[in-house]
Structure formats: structure tokens, C-alpha cells
Amino acid sequence: MTAEKQGISNKFIDFFHSLDKGVGAKVVGEDKTVSGKLNEQAAAVVAKTREVDQSRGVTAKFSEYYNRVFSTGVGQKWVALAAPELTAGSSSSTRLRKSRCSTCTRRPGVLP
């Protein structure tokens, strides 16, 4: 999809490209752009985050925790409600009614 189809003119896009290059040349360095510098910084942050995650096993711990939670009865109900593709053939309002716990009270206008 082109910028024109999204309602953004090429003149507007060109303005931001020239601004990116002009400010980048003054702030970051010759033949560099602000967006390029931001991309470099973002890549460094992502790499450091992955390194920390692998060394401490944060993702593995969360995965183990969520697997335990979703294996419970309440977790299964939540999965059935939140992931409609897993419960094909039932409407969202039916899933919502079935998932309500017995301690919930009906509030007019909030739930079907």
C-alpha cells in the first residue's frame, strides 16, 4: 500500500526524510540519520534484553508459570474465552456466559 492510498502525500513523506537526514547530519554525524541512530540503539537494547533473558531464564520461568496457570480449571475457561479460534463454533457471548464464575453478580448493561 502506498503512502498516497493511506492519505499521506509523497511531499509530506519527503519532508520528513529530509528532516531526518538534515538533523541527523548535524546531531549524529555526516551521512547519518536520526532514524538510523534510533534503530541502532533499539537493536542494542533488544540484544542486551535477550542476553539478560537467556542468562536469567526469565522467559522460561514465565512460560512454566503460565503453563501451570492455564492447566487449572479457571485457566481453561479463560483460554476458551480469550482464544475463540480454539473453541470454534461458539459465539463470544456464549463463551462469556459460560465462563462467568458463580460468585460473579450480574450488573445490568455490562454482561449479556
The pLDDT tens digits along the chain (112 residues) read 555 566 788 899 999 999 999 999 999 888 899 999 999 999 999 999 999 999 999 999 999 998 998 889 988 888 888 876 655 555 555 555 555 555 555 554 444 4
Whole-prediction pTM: 0.49
Which residues, 6 or more positions from 78, have their beta carbon under 8 angstroms from its beta carbon? 70, 99
- The maximal CA–CA distance of the chain, rounded, in angstroms, is 66
Torsions phi, psi of 3, nearest 5? -65, -35
